[in-house]
């Protein structure tokens, strides 16, 4: 794993156009800045395509979806595809309602995504195993689903990045497991959304999608581990959230190399 790729974000300082949810939009903008990239949040249909074409990567997150926003997302994605700008999808709560399920279906028909990042329920739903209440994960027996995740990646010509206790990344040929992280990351809303924004930063810096996903999963996991380790007995989730931002701001290739727990199974299929 070439951890030095991470430093490209600060060197390139890419512009990351994000069409995202109202719960975590501010956290996504701040994590983008913390990584050394520049965020712009723009989801009006009147400007989404123009903004996407002028950006280095586009992040589409359906967390609090509305119909007009969906059209803006599709237009931004199409415009990005036309200009060769990479696009990453976060299918938040894809299995929770019909609106979300249909939205993901429409987006996948109109836009080619470089990476799709979701939790196990969201990725399972994309494979036809509809699951998930709300936005949190509850798909079980993940090992039995790995071959469908690989087929999904192959069919959509994308990289699937499934986060969880152990993260799994595949482009249909190559596979990787990332073992960094802490359950505390699930006790703060937005860590998945921020992870997807970080993937956008890596893509915008020109890092190819498979490695962009691995680097981002390792970075977020390690920042979570370090934030947790810094907590005193009287500190809790509020302090964890702040320290997580601090650790992402301080993240560099050396820390990634020392603390990254990645198993790469290249050409494993």
Ligand X SMILES: Nc1ncnc2c1ncn2[C@@H]1O[C@H](COP(=O)(O)OP(=O)(O)O)[C@@H](O)[C@H]1O
Ligand Y SMILES: Cc1ncsc1CCOP(=O)(O)O
190 annotated to a ligand binding site: yes
Least gap, CB of 94 to Mg ion (angstroms): 10
Q: Pick from 48, 60, 92, 161: which binds Mg ion (CB under 5 A)? A: 92
Q: Maximum CA pair distance of the chain?
A: 52
Q: In three state form, how does the secondary structure of 16-63 look?
A: EEEECCCCCHHHHHHHHHHCCCEEEECCCCCCHHHHHHCCCEEEEECC
241 annotated to a ligand binding site: no
Binding site for ligand Y (CB under 6 A): 21, 23-24, 63-64, 92, 135, 189-193
Q: Pick from 192, 204, 221, 260: which binds Mg ion (CB under 5 A)? A: 192
- CA distances to 184, 189, 191, 193, 244 from 239, rounded to whole Å, are 11, 14, 15, 19, 8
Other beta carbons less than 10 A from residue 185's beta carbon: 23
Least gap, CB of 84 to ligand X (angstroms): 28
The answer to whether 11 and 205 are in contact (CB under 8 A) is: yes
Dist CA 257 CA 252 (whole Å)? 9
- CA distances to 44, 53, 67, 120, 174 from 76, rounded to whole Å, are 10, 8, 14, 26, 29
Nearer Cβ to ligand Y, position 63 or 172?
Answer: 63
Least gap, CB of 118 to ligand X (angstroms): 6
Radius of gyration of the chain (CA): 17
Q: Residue 165 binds what, of ligand X, ligand Y, Mg ion, none (CB under 5 to 8 Å, by partner type)? A: ligand X
224 annotated to a ligand binding site: no
| Six token digits for residue 6 | 């991470």
Q: Which stretch binds Mg ion (CB under 5 A): 65-73, 161-169, 187-195, 251-259?
A: 187-195
* Nearest 10 degrees: Cα torsion 252, 255, 256, 260: -160
Nearer Cβ to Mg ion, position 95 or 192?
Answer: 192
Number of residues in contact with ligand X under rule CB under 6 A: 18
Dist CA 110 CA 28 (whole Å)? 25
Q: Pick from 30, 38, 129, 186: which binds ligand X (CB under 6 A)? A: 186
> What would the x/- binding string for ligand X be over residues 123 to 162, using CB under 6 A?
-------------xx-------------------------
Least gap, CB of 24 to ligand Y (angstroms): 5
Q: Residue 20 binds what, of ligand X, ligand Y, Mg ion, none (CB under 5 to 8 Å, by partner type)? A: none
Q: Which residues in this chain contact ligand X in the complex, by CB under 6 A?
A: 119, 136-137, 163-165, 167, 181-183, 185-186, 191-192, 195, 217, 220-221
Q: Which residues in this chain contact Mg ion in the complex, by CB under 5 A?
A: 92, 192
Q: Which residues are annotated as part of the binding site for ATP?
A: 117, 163
């Amino acid at each position: 794993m070439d951890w030095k790729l991470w430093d490209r974000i600060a060197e390139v300082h890419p512009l990351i156009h994000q069409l995202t949810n109202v719960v975590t939009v501010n956290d996504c903008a701040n994590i983008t800045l913390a990584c050394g990239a520049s965020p712009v949040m723009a989801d009006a249909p009147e400007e989404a395509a123009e903004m996407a074409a002028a950006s280095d990567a586009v992040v589409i997150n359906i967390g609090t979806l509305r119909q007009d926003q969906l059209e803006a997302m599709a237009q931004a994605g199409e415009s990005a595809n036309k200009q060769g700008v990479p696009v990453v999808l976060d299918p938040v709560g894809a299995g929770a309602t019909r609106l979300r399920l249909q939205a993901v279906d429409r987006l996948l028909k109109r836009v080619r995504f470089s990476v799709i990042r979701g939790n196990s329920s969201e990725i399972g739903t994309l494979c036809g195993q509809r699951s998930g209440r709300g936005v949190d994960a509850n798909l079980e027996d993940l090992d039995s689903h790995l071959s469908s995740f690989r087929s999904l990646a192959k069919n959509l010509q994308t990289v699937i990045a499934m986060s969880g206790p152990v993260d799994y990344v595949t482009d249909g040929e190559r596979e990787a497991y990332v073992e960094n992280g802490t359950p505390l990351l699930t006790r703060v809303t937005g860590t998945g959304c921020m992870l997807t924004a970080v993937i956008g930063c890596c893509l915008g810096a020109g890092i190819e999608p498979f490695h962009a996903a691995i680097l981002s999963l390792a970075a977020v996991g390690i920042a979570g581990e370090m934030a947790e380790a810094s907590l005193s007995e009287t500190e809790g989730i509020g302090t964890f959230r702040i320290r997580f931002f601090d650790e992402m701001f301080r993240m560099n290739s050396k820390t990634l190399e020392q603390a990254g727990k990645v198993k790469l199974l290249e050409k494993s299929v």
